[in-house]
Amino acid sequence: MLQLLVAGRYRLLDQVGSGGMGRVWLARDEMLHRDVAVKELVPPVWLAEPERDELRLRTLREARTAARLNHPHVVRIYDVVHDRGGPWIVMEYVPSRSLQELVDDDGPLSPQRTAEIGLAVLAALRAAHSAGVLHRDVKPHNVLVGRDGRVVLTDFGLATFTGGDGALTGPGLVLGSPQFVAPERARSGVSDPRTDLWSLGATLYAAVEGHSPYARDSAMATLSALATEPPDPMRRAGPLRPALAGLLSRDPEHRLTAAQVEPLLRAAATEQPVPAGGARRPVSRTGRSASSAADPAEDAPAVPRSGTPAGPRPDGPLARRRRWVALGAVAALLVAAGAVLALRDRDEPAPAAGTGATPLARPAAFACATPPPAGATPVRSAPAPTGERYALIPDWTWYVDPSGFRIAAPVDWLRWADGSATCFREPGGSRVLSVGAGAVPADPVAHWRAEERRLTGSGALAGYQRVEIAPLDLYRGGAVWECGWVTGAGDKVHSARLLVSVSPTRAYTVSWLTKEFDWQVNATYFLMIRQSFRPGS
């Protein structure tokens, strides 16, 4: 697409960025003779047409949202044009590197420089919140640091208005990068100004420490740590420590507000100590500060004097147990939202004897790989089971299997049985969820390692890369196997499979697989699915 002319006016010169849903180009405005940035919408190939329409609406909303914010630390929107069947956003071009690129290229920033960047992003967020706009995707990739030192917040693609023009995502569906999503938003999908401030804290933590406060090897591990653990210890933050600790408070009611954190950031930027109580604001008889009317984030009480979020020691036995429990739950239940391009040969040999593992469901590698048979039936919407209090997002329903388990499943997906596995597949698409019951292996970790050796040895997993094989302290125990490989068609895929024992004689294998490109996109469903799975008695 190099040198392509968009809308007869904007000539694309070079690609300067890309993500799961689009690309950003350096372009030349042939009418005004100036450089601009043009954001091109590139929907994933697996999206259905209604989802593509929703993505187009989100793109237009991004442009409208950013255009109404006239602030030096928010990237300016010049135009929105339609060309080649989709919208293109024309923006101010800021010669810059993202904060993520700065850290990757030059290493962690100093506390002083990080605080200066934090003040600029905080000013952008306060302007947005005052206009009733929530960003919802604050992270190092979306903070640009210009060659002239100017800092701008960009990419309002997930933004919503606190009144009107509501979100395009349903309740329970959490979008954004897991390492920079506030705990309460990851847990329940709730967004308010305080969730943006938590993401700001995580962004500044990553800038000064070199990694996010919940950096883990996989999205599953990140989400489980986010649900149960305090942030990783700070080693480089120095004078930034009080601000970061207050912003990363797990309880939003105890999280620092914008007015409270600003003097802490200014002190860190100049290395000047903050007077005792300087981060606190005077409170009126109504319980609100004098400045809170101008800042919707001002309703939370001040952080406790220690500024340290409550939680178990990150290296203690309770924390380790909670980590594995949460990881197991996430892995077990992320599958319902997954996109699967399964690869299975029905004639594959059974696992070799002496591995210490009993095959679960079918002896082949991955169940539910073949197209739905003629007898597959669509999943119909059903009321929640008696006593079930968890609410699902629209177009999902409770599926209760005759074997006893239940799980959230998309309405109208095709369901059929493949041996002892229950399969769900998107009509006309490739996304698949499978849940299979079987015998309990003597050692779940050894079971997955034996499967890994068998499948890689047979050549079924070309270009194989292991992410992890690890134990899970869930129900009676289990193990997770996450990996990637290249299919015969040349597609890079990513898989997560959970084996969990629920009784002395019964275990479940819950499998999910998607294209590598789509892995992070589908990870946004993890927490809803984590809370929906019930193994039955």
Residues noted as catalytic: 137
Please tell me the number of Cα atoms within 13 Å of 51 on its side-chain side: 11
Q: Which residues are registered as beta bridge partners of 152?
A: 144
Cα 435 from Cα 270, distance rounded (Å): 56
How many other CB atoms are found less than 10 A from the CB of residue 373? 11
Task: State the angle between helix axes of 219-228 and 317-333 in degrees (0 to 180), rounded to the nearest 10.
Answer: 130
Cα 352 from Cα 414, distance rounded (Å): 33
Q: Which tokens hold the place of 512?
A: 């999910």
**Which residues in 5-21 are b (16+ Cβ under 10 Å) and which e?**
ebeebbbbeeeebeeeb
In 3D space, the residue among 311, 60, 29 whose CA is nearest the CA of residue 165 turns out to be: 60
In 3D space, the residue among 249, 244, 238, 240 whose CA is nearest the CA of residue 303 turns out to be: 249
Contacts of 280 (CB under 8 A, 6+ apart): 260, 302
Q: Is there a contact between 77 and 66 (Cβ–Cβ < 8 Å)?
A: yes
Q: Which tokens hold the place of 389?
A: 């209090």
Cα 125 from Cα 469, distance rounded (Å): 40
The CA–CA distances, whole Å, from 127 to 11, 122, 314 equal 32, 9, 36
96-98 vs 133-134, strand pairing mode: unpaired
DSSP class of residue 194?
Answer: H
Task: Read off φ and ψ for residue 100, nearest 5 degrees.
Answer: -65, -45
Residues in the chain: 537
CA 61 centroid distance within chain: 20
Using CA atoms of 337, 341, 346, 349 in order, give the dihedral in degrees to the nearest 10: -90
